[in-house]
Amino acid sequence: MPTLTAFILAGFVGYAGSWILGYHEGNFALLMLLATVVSGVYWLLEKWIFLPRRIAAANALVQQETQRREQLQAQGIAQAELDLASARQEVLRQPWWLDWTAGLFPVIAVVFVLRSFLFEPFKIPSGSMIPTLWVGDLILVNKFHYGLRLPVLNTKITEGNPVQRGDVMVFRYPPKPSLDYIKRVVGVPGDEVAYLNKQLTINGQPIPKVALIDFFDEDSLSYAKQFSDSLPTGSDPTQMGTPKTVRLLNDPARPAFVAGADDFVFKDQCRYSVEGVVCKVPAGHYFMMGDNRDNSLDSRYFGFVPEANIVGKAFLVWMNFSHWGRIGRFD
């Protein structure tokens, strides 16, 4: 078992190391699942086989030593006392290969359950969601808000809350599902979303846009034009619910047309022009946009996000080491 365990641990280290070094695209959910299963098997073997064997060996040691002492005492022979308690503990002690497998199972299992079904941490890598989310924000994503999903397979197993316009959602990037993206839901299935001349329109209704004071980016030490949108909530085209105020950035120097859009699925549902784009959101898909409208790779470029790609709803900044005041909920 020690040799087999060494090979298994080396496999995990090799996979993680080659992923970090960029030799392949890793799958953390799969890695956590395998670690949970492997350590769980060792934990069961320890509980039902290895630990009972060590207990039996320790009891046999105590019994043999007791008998030896009685025999020597009957013969009147002086003896060097053996620290029986220490010897018993040494026999009961887990070997290294169980310590690194069965011993870690409770921790790995708790992390796996929390990350897969409850909350998952993410780090904001870009400025596409400024001013709502800044580069370096460490956020939490609610994994059960839209329904529980099986890890790795991402198959939905329970019904949750419907996706609403205005939700900040983490999803698997459609062209490369191994990457996670975060954007705001702008269009739900059946919506017609138009973004023309930097004016957002949903189902023929222009979204009110109000100028705010310029946003100061503390990282780049620059100002950007800031506005607020009153984005209607709702989960289908018939629901144009209570507006949600969303702060966003627009760069007047950037052109309105969308340059370099991918050849994505259902692209025939979109019409591109020099003014921007108009899209009809197909069933089971969502139209996503970044709050930093002129600095965001979103559905205008890579297309619609399928229901199966949903990871969860982002809701909390739990740390930003450069800006402690960022900690708190967001919407």
By annotation, the residues acting in catalysis are 128, 183
Dist. CA 209–CA 247, nearest whole Å:
10
Q: List, as one string, the DSSP characters of 282-302.
A: PTTEEEEE-SBTTS--SHHHH
Residues 175/302, Cβ–Cβ less than 8 Å = yes
Dist. CA 184–CA 314, nearest whole Å:
10
Dist. CA 123–CA 136, nearest whole Å:
6
Q: How far is CA 173 from CA 46, 169, 233, 303, 316, in A?
A: 41, 12, 24, 10, 21
Q: Which amino acid is at 200?
A: L
